[in-house]
A and B are shown apart, each in its own frame.
Chain A
Amino acid sequence: MTRVLDVRDLRVSFPATAGGRFHPVDGVSFSLDRGETLALVGESGSGKSLTSLALVRLVPPPGRVDPGSAIRLGDTDVLALEGEALRRIRGRRIGMVFQDPMTSLNPVLTVGDQITEGIRAHFPVSKADARERARALLQEVGIADPAGRLHAYPHQLSGGMRQRVMIAIALAAEPEILVADEPTTALDVTVQAQILELLDELRRSRGMTVLLITHDLGIVAGRADRVAVMYAGQIVEEAPTLELFAHPSHPYTQGLFASVPRITGPVTRLTPIGGTVPQPTAWPTGCRFRPRCPKAFAKSELPPELLTVGPEHRMRCWLAEGTTVRG
């Protein structure tokens, strides 16, 4: 396994109105091996989107990545890059697909213009060659009549087609890693499945690595190799997908599963997680899930570390100390 991305202790902070800084992303570590899919799962406000933006250094100002964070892309120290060197990794090494295909495409440029823009930003090819590549990309992402669609404007396409175009744009510079931030949230359920299938197909055919960011545990099963669950700016549980679905261990992850209807097994009432997601300006002390946790106990007042609970399975909960490690 080749490690293509290694994120260590990533902290993203914004200035607080009361002075000081608050940390919507607060010590996130994960890594990606070539060809795998890691799903980063969390509710809105958990810091998952900011994490993805930090990977290409696009945290909107006045936010910043704090000193002490490390993002290594192969041999490249992303946080040390500036200007042109930074531009050259954006799109070329990490491609991004954004959540809303309605607003992520420029309304006044044709589909062809927007794909060739991505190609010509990184490869010294002629306009004609870039257009031919753009046509091939549209074909690859499953758009009928790709040559004709090059001339279409975004408003002339359906939501699903727009998301396919977004993916074609993200693929334009042939990135090693594709970051898909909620790629299906704005789409119909039937189209969602197609888009996820497409992403998986592209990962296999191109040997890409995929970071799938989602709030929906349901789309993770069967598509991601590993899952990292985020809560309140931290990763609270991390495991191979099968392991996580078989043995969700962190009370928050268990809560997530309990709030999703299941097809198999006895019919039970859905149990929502009580309370609301804390604000990044005031993370709870100790375990950040403590105020909502049905299993909170005395030690929860201390901030927990990531502890091993199973094979490649770790969680940020003191309960892990009491359990015998499986496997």
Chain B
Amino acid sequence: MRAAAEAIRAVWRTPRGRAGLTFLVFLVLLGLVGPLFLPDPFRQFDLEGLASVAPTMDHPFGTDQLSRDVLSRVVTGARISLAVAGLAVGLSVTLGAGVGLVAGYWGGLVDAVVMRFVDGALAVPRLFLLLLVLAVPDRVPLVALILLIGTTGWFATSRLVRAEVLRLREESFVRAAEALGASRRRVIFRHLLVNAAGPLLVAATLGVGDVILLEAGLSFLGLGVQPPTPSWGGMILDGRPALEAAPWISIFPGVAIVLTVLATNLVGDALRDAFDPRGA
């Protein structure tokens, strides 16, 4: 816990870390409380014309073809994107850490079988695997989308954790803990996992950016978050036919994606430097 606080402080000390962290905190707050102050993202303002209007005081980001407030939808989309990314990354980090710990700690046949599976899984491009699965049913519920993204994202993490475990197992404090009668569970969780937490946290942070992009891509292809639920990728898709006449429909969610991914990468890089003893 203390190490985590120290890592956040180290990130805060770097300009890029501070910029990224500030933006992400702002985005989370916006997602949490923004909808209270903004119009209903599903409300259609001009029911007769159903026309898109350019940004005005009433609608700072304009409205889309269905006359819905783009700002409201971008903010609600932030909720969806962050929730999908957070939960999916949480799932894949848990799976990756679990598999990596098991493979690295037990070694031998378990390690060989699990890691050959991971090698195989890493050879399949994730996007195509997801497209294949998502294209089959008519509608994919949000929970299923999160589960699918989460369960296809742990392979690289498991390799990372396994490598850390193999390194840490040779450390004498692990042997010392074993020599003093620490249970297997304690050795694995208190000594191996906690010491592997740094690289794991870096991977998770960078993973959030990846998943936001992945979800946006899937939604843009119509296979991710399903309308009418607003998502950034889906909004770009919505605006595509009117890209010249009403560019704001696509531009604002596009900017949101770029800024968010940039922010997570900045924080991820700063974290990596914070955990790297060789210094930046």
Contacts and interface: CB of A to CB of B under 8 A. Distances in A.
Interface stretch (B85-93, B149-157, B188-196): B188-196
Interface stretch (B14-22, B175-183, B247-255): B175-183
B56 interface: no
A248 B178 CA distance: 37
A169 B191 CA distance: 15
A55 to B, nearest CB: 9
A104 B181 contact: no
Interface in A43-101: 53, 56, 58, 60-61, 87-92, 95-96, 98-100
Nearest to B108: A61
A172 interface: yes
B172 A98 contact: yes
Nearest to A100: B172
B179 to A, nearest CB: 4
Contact of A106 (B107, B173, B181, B183): B173
A166 B186 CA distance: 18
Contact of A107 (B181, B182, B195): B195
Interface of B is mostly: helix
A173 B195 contact: no
Contacts of A113: 190
A34 interface: no
Interface string B134-158: 0000000000000000000000000
B194 A91 contact: no
A260 B177 CA distance: 35
Report which residue of A96, A108, A121 has the largest number of chain B beta carbons within 10 angstroms of its beta carbon.
A108
Contacts of B179: 53, 56, 58, 90-91, 96, 98
B113 interface: no
B175 A173 contact: no
A106 B195 contact: yes
B176 A104 contact: yes
B178 A58 contact: yes
B33 to A, nearest CB: 35
Nearest to B173: A106
A91 B172 contact: no
B173 A96 contact: no
Contact of B182 (A60, A99, A100, A117): A117
A89 B179 CA distance: 9
Interface string B158-186: 00000000000001110111111111001
A157 interface: no
B133 interface: no
B173 A90 contact: no
Contacts of B195: 106-108
B178 A117 contact: no
B277 to A, nearest CB: 11
Given A106-B191, A107-B195, A91 B173 contact: no
Interface string A98-126: 11100111111100010001100110000
Interface in A130-159: none
Interface string B190-211: 1100110100000000000000
Which 5 residue pairs spanning A and B have beta carbons closest together?
Answer: A91-B181, A91-B180, A90-B181, A96-B179, A121-B181
Interface of B: 3, 107, 171-173, 175-183, 186, 190-191, 194-195, 197
